[in-house]
Amino acid sequence: MIGSMDSALTLFAEASDALRRLVPFDAAVWQASDPATGLATAPMRAENLGEDGCDTYWDSELLAEKVNLFRDLARAPVPVAALRDGTSDAPEHSATYRRFMRPRGLDDELRAVLRADGQWWGQVSLFRERGRAPFSRQEIARAAETLAPLGKRLRTYAGLRPPLPSSHGGTTSSGAPGLLVFDLRGGLLSINDTARELLAGMPDSPSSTSRFGVRVPAWVHSTAARALTDDSRVRAQDRTGRWLVFHASCLRDQEGRPTQTAVVVEPAKPADIATLLTAAFGLTEREQEITGLVARGLSTAQLARRLHLSQHTVRDHVKAVFAKTGVNSRGELVAKLYTDHYRDLNPDSRVRVWRD
């Protein structure tokens, strides 16, 4: 969901270099999150990790993990934790350790959520190989201090470079939404032609090849896996910069037992983009509410009556919104959040690197 992918990937690379000097690690995954759901999305940077195992990692996190869950760290006073430290040196309690780390010779993981004003904009996993000392509490504290500013920087990138309109290289041949159906193990059972087109237009990323010959990004698998416990919805951009929404739901038999998950893919509506951008500009909940009503054309007097506020207070809120978004009028505000998102984006939203 990051609007300036190249900037975010540069940020990840620079942060990785700085952090490695303070808290050495052997492998890492840096990735953005959709702030509305916390689900992983583009861009992503993987260091010293092959493409195998992404499905295993996310299935463990979403369906079996009970240790250092990202969603728990997102609400913690300090959103950073290490596996061995958090389990009293008993990492086998972690499903991620058993299923993903141990088979790959990884022995400890330090996790961090990158947040800004309580919203979850990204996440980091740092790994150490077997034979290395576990992450110490001093190193955990260093990581927390170093990573603390990154959430706000990621948030700003979401509003920097708007996506192309669907009419600019973004339409599909049918105009119908894409549909993918997965079994309970994450295997692709069915896919329509629109979904094939849309997936073919997504940036390169860790993925698996299905029996249909279609490469499915790992984060799409994780979105589908999340649907087994709750409907999940994540925003992402294709190579043209167009925003897409991936919405996953669980299909059940007549007795209510889960049987499959379905993922519907379609272009994001203006409101989907606007909610992301209002968060990116750091608007408060009240300011986001007022912005939405301004977009619907309500006057200051109507806003005051609707929100049970004085007109003076409404004007103060509107001025604050203008200052944060860099506009001077209501028309400019609506244009910036709903219509002016048509500049090109860097199509390379994900990178995989190997380091000495």
Q: What is the pLDDT of residues 308-325, one digit of tens each?
A: 999 999 999 999 999 988
CATH class entry, domain 5-161 = alpha beta
How does pLDDT run across 85-103, given as a tens digit for each residue? 999 999 999 999 999 999 9
Instruction: Report the alpha-carbon distance of residue 71 to residue 90 in Å, rounded.
Output: 21
If one counts every other C-beta atom within 10 angstroms of the C-beta of residue 238, the result is: 24
- Domain layout of the chain by residue ranges: 5-161, 178-270, 271-339
Give backbone dihedrals phi and psi of 305, rounded to 5 degrees, phi first.
Answer: -65, -40
Regarding predicted confidence, which is higher, 295 or 95? 95
Matching CATH topology for 178-270 and 271-339?
no
Both tokens assigned to 69: 């869950």
What does DSSP assign to residue 241?
-
pLDDT at 52: 66
Per-residue pLDDT tens digits for 49-84: 876 666 677 777 777 788 998 988 998 999 999 999
What is the assigned CATH class of domain 271-339?
A: mainly alpha
> Could you give the percent of the chain with pLDDT greater than 90?
47
Architecture of the 178-270 domain: 2-Layer Sandwich (3.30)
HSE of 145 in the Cβ direction (CA atoms, 13 Å)?
9
For 115-124, the pLDDT digits (tens) are 988 889 999 9
Residues 179 and 262: beta-carbon distance below 8 Å: yes
In this predicted structure, the answer to whether residue 342 has a pLDDT above a threshold of 60 is no
pLDDT of residue 3: 43
Tens digit of each residue's pLDDT (9 = 90 or more) over 253-266: 999 999 999 999 99
Using DSSP's 3-state secondary structure scheme, residue 233 falls into strand
State both tokens at 315. 């004007």
